Amino acid sequence: MLKVISIFGTRPEAIKMAPLVKKLSKESDILSKVVVTAQHRQMLDQVLELFDISPDYDLDIMQQGQTLTGVTVRVLSGLEEIIQKEKPHMVLVHGDTTTTFSSALAAFYQQAAVGHVEAGLRTFNKYSPYPEEMNRRLTGAITDLHFAPTQTSMDNLLKENIPREKIIVTGNTVIDALLETAAKDYPLETLLPGVDWSKRILLLTAHRRENWGEPLGNIFLAARELVRDFPDTELIFPVHKNPRVSQLANEVLANTERIHLIEPLDYLPFVTLMNRSYLVLTDSGGMQEEAPSLGKPVLVLRETTERPEAVEAGTVKMVGTARDKLYQVGAELLENHLAYREMAHAVNPYGDGKASGRIIDAIKRHFA
- Residue 116 annotated as catalytic: no
- What is the arrangement of strands in the sheet containing 57-58, beginning at the earlier edge strand? 57-58, 30-36, 2-8, 90-94, 113-117, 145-148, 167-169
Catalytic residue among 40, 74, 89, 118: 118
Q: How far apart, in whole angstroms, are the C-alpha atoms of residue 299 and residue 222?
A: 12
Q: Which of 41, 224, 240, 276 is catalytic?
A: 240
Nearest-CA neighbor of 14 among 357, 243, 206, 266?
266
Q: Is 207 a catalytic residue?
A: yes
Of residues 194, 178, 190, 368, the one with CA closest to residue 289: 178
Candidates 207, 208, 258, 307; catalytic one:
207
Q: Is 342 a catalytic residue?
A: no
Backbone dihedral angles phi then psi of residue 130, each to the nearest 5 degrees = -110, 130
Backbone angles phi, psi at 264, to 5 degrees: -55, 140
Which is nearest to 88 in space by CA: 362, 367, 365, 368?
367
d(CA 361, CA 351): 17
∠ CA 17-181-98, nearest 5°, is 30
Strand partners, 92: 6, 115
Out of 86, 96, 176, 290, the active site residue is: 96
User: Alpha-carbon distance 112 to 341, whole Å?
Assistant: 48
What is the C-alpha to C-alpha distance for residues 64 and 78, in angstroms, rounded to an integer?
Answer: 18
The Cα-based distances of 341 to 265, 277, 336 in angstroms read 28, 14, 9
Active site residue 240: yes
Q: Which of 13, 132, 176, 234 is catalytic?
A: 132
Q: For 263, which DSSP code?
A: P
Q: Provide the residue type at 351 as one letter.
A: G
* 189 noted as active-site residue: no
C-alpha distances out from residue 197 to 231, 254, 277, 279, Å:
13, 20, 9, 14
H-helix segments, 168-296: 173-182, 188-191, 214-229, 243-253, 267-276, 287-293
> Residue 308: what residue type?
P
Among 41, 209, 224, 244, the one annotated catalytic: 209
Whether residue 208 lies in the annotated active site: no
User: Annotated catalytic sites, by residue?
Assistant: 96, 118, 132, 207, 209, 240
